Amino acid sequence: MTDWRPPGKVVGEDAADVMTNADGTPLQDLVLRLLTDRLNLQVASPETDLLEAGLLDSLTFVQLLVHIEQEFGVTVSPGDLDIENFRSVSEIARFVATCK
């Protein structure tokens, strides 16, 4: 599990952009690494729509949920399963940031 910490209050910045792990790695980078290392997905940018790009199908989505829970120590409840939370690296990072 990645040891990460929520940001202090930063005005005008998205929590997903400023949240880092213990060594200072941004949350978006951690999510991108998870997609690359665990799911073998090559994502062009944090804003790439994973569904439109054909990278996220139903099986990969379930695998992603499992890895998010394991890597970040969060629980994804059925109420959190709005696909908009998982469309891109930046949306996934934002979702994880709100789960802690």
Q: How many CB atoms lie within 10 A of CB 9?
A: 8
> What does the pLDDT look like over 12-71, one tens digit per residue?
455 555 577 667 889 999 999 999 999 999 999 999 999 999 999 999 999 999 999 999
Token pair recorded at residue 32: 């991108």
Check pLDDT > 60 for residue 7.
no
What is the rounded CA–CA span in Å between residue 1 and residue 52? Answer: 29
What ranges do the domains of the chain cover? 4-99
Q: Which CATH number fits domain 4-99: 3.90.79.10, 1.10.1200.10, 1.10.730.10, 1.10.357.10?
A: 1.10.1200.10
Nearest to 55 by CA among 42, 71, 68: 42
pTM more than 0.85: no
> What does the pLDDT look like over 54-95, one tens digit per residue?
999 999 999 999 999 999 999 999 999 999 999 999 999 999
